[in-house]
């Protein structure tokens, strides 16, 4: 136990005869650590993108509701009448008549 601990501290397990086996394992663990780090960075980036996109959706929904409210107010008959009275147009006093055209056989 004491000898193996001193070998690890001194690093002699990396230079002895069967060191190739140890180096393969160390390289494997290093590659695994790099994959794990890259995966966590990608996951964090996706979380930030999702948060940004959800904020954009909230802003667009708010803008949509605001524009829809304005359009509804602009389409009101009283607003149209007021806007056209400035130009000299007024609503007709007589209601429109429906024209029906019958096909001749």
pLDDT in tens, the chain (105 residues): 677 778 777 777 777 777 777 788 889 999 999 999 999 999 999 999 999 999 999 999 999 999 999 999 999 988 888 888 888 888 888 888 899 988 887
Tokens of 58: 């909230």
Alpha-carbon span 105 to 95, nearest angstrom: 32
Say what the pLDDT of residue 92 is.
Answer: 83
Q: Is residue 67 part of a domain?
A: yes
Say what the pLDDT of residue 54 is.
Answer: 98
Model's pTM, two decimal places?
A: 0.55
Say what the pLDDT of residue 35 is.
Answer: 98
Q: Is residue 53 part of a domain?
A: yes
Question: Which whole-number Å values give the CA distances from 30 to 1, 19, 36, 69, in the listed order?
Answer: 26, 16, 10, 59
For residue 35, what are the domain limits? 2-83
Report the number of distinct structural domains present in the chain: 1
């Amino acid at each position: 136990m004491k000898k193996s601990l001193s070998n690890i501290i001194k690093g002699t397990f990396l230079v002895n005869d069967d060191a190739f086996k140890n180096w393969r394992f160390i390289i494997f663990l290093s590659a695994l650590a790099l994959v794990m780090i890259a995966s966590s960075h990608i996951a964090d980036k996706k979380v930030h993108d999702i948060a940004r996109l959800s904020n954009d959706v909230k802003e667009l929904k708010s803008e949509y509701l605001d524009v829809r409210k304005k359009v509804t107010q602009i389409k009101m008959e009283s607003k149209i009448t007021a806007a056209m009275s400035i130009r000299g147009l007024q609503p007709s006093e007589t209601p429109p008549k429906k024209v029906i055209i019958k096909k001749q056989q």
